[in-house]
Structure 1
Amino acid sequence: MRHTTTTALLATLLLAGAATGCGSGSSDDKPRAQPSASATPPANPLVQFTNAVNHAQLESYATGIPAFQDLEVFPPQWCKALNEGHSVEWMLGDGGLYPVGQDWGTKKADAYQLVLFGVKAYCPKHTAAVTAELRASGEY
């Protein structure tokens, strides 16, 4: 059921993104600024995070991924903690930001992976620091 909810959300978000990208023709003769070939539209962080979780097939979620509403609250909190100078170890320990819910849990190795997915999607400027911390701890 949760997988269906997540899939439905992704489809809705992707469809909405495609719809906003469509434009109508214009009759004015002014040349339009074309985006550079290397420019890519920013991805919706929720979609990016949810896709990463879905594709990772984490052992903790072998029987079903928690609903996106349960998972989506964590990445912004992780980014806030990183902006304040906290470590991943602090976030998952004393910081109280361990990804767990009323009826679901996450193994520690998978929690590290979730943090990395969340950081890459929501606050990519911290990706290198988080990766370095996880590598130094032997978790990545």
Structure 2
Amino acid sequence: MRTRTTTAALITAALLALTACGTEPEPDAPAAGPSASATTDPEDQYLSTARDITFNGAPTDDELTQLPPQWCDALADGHSVEWTFSLSGGDLYPLGQEWGTVQTDAYTLLVAGVRAYCPEYLKTVTDELREGGDY
């Protein structure tokens, strides 16, 4: 009986040691970072907001996703939101042959695009829109 108790104690101790080893990270193992699923795709992030906007007509995802890179380029060149949307400037107001949106929704779409594709310009855009009372 003593042999069984001693054997059981040794097995239990070995199992506990193995379990403890399995829960500690290896010293050379890289720290766990955010999972790929936690990363939001800019296009998905932008289109999620776009789908909540009421358009006059029905823009395609392709039409909508063509705008943010152009907006980002205009902002990178130092242009304002006003210039970016104006007909005599960038002419990048969100509208197509058979669709469009009101200005408040256009600004919402612009902010979503900048947030997703070129967040380094987000403060510049929101500050300009706030100054004009549009955000």
- Asked if Structure 1 and Structure 2 have the same fold, meaning a TM-score greater than 0.5 normalized by the shorter chain, the answer is yes
The alignment's C-alpha RMSD in Å is 2.6
Alpha carbons 2:75, 2:121 under 8 Å: kept = yes
Within the candidate set 99, 108, 115, 1:113 is matched to 108
CA distance in structure 2 between the aligned counterparts of 1:98 and 1:48, rounded to whole angstroms: 20
2:76 maps to which residue? 83
| 1:83-124 Cα distance to aligned partner (Å, 9 max, x none) | 000001100002111111111111111111111000000000
Which residues of structure 1 form unaligned runs of 5+? 1-28
Query: Residue 41 of structure 1: CA displacement?
Result: 5.3
Q: Alignment partner for residue 136 of structure 1, among 121, 128, 131?
A: 131
**1:103 and 2:105 matched:** no
Percent identity of the aligned residues?
42
Corresponding residue for 2:50? Answer: 53
Matches of 1:130 and 1:106 in 2, distance apart?
19
Shift of 1:65: 4.7
Pairing partner for 1:127 from 122, 125, 135: 122
Distance 2:30 2:38 in 1: 15
Q: Output the TM-score relative to the length of structure 2.
A: 0.70
Q: Which runs of 5+ in 2 are unaligned?
A: 1-25
Q: How many residues align?
A: 108
Q: Which has the higher contact order (CA 8 A, sep 6+)?
A: 1
Equivalent residue for 2:85, pick from 82, 92, 96: 92
Match of 2:65 among 36, 49, 72: 72
Q: Which amino acid aligns with 2:127?
A: A
The Cα of 1:43 is off from its aligned counterpart by 2.3
Deviation above 4 Å: which 4+ runs of structure 1?
none
Counterpart Cα distance in 2 of 1:45 and 1:102: 25
Structure 1 position 30, deviation (Å): 8.2
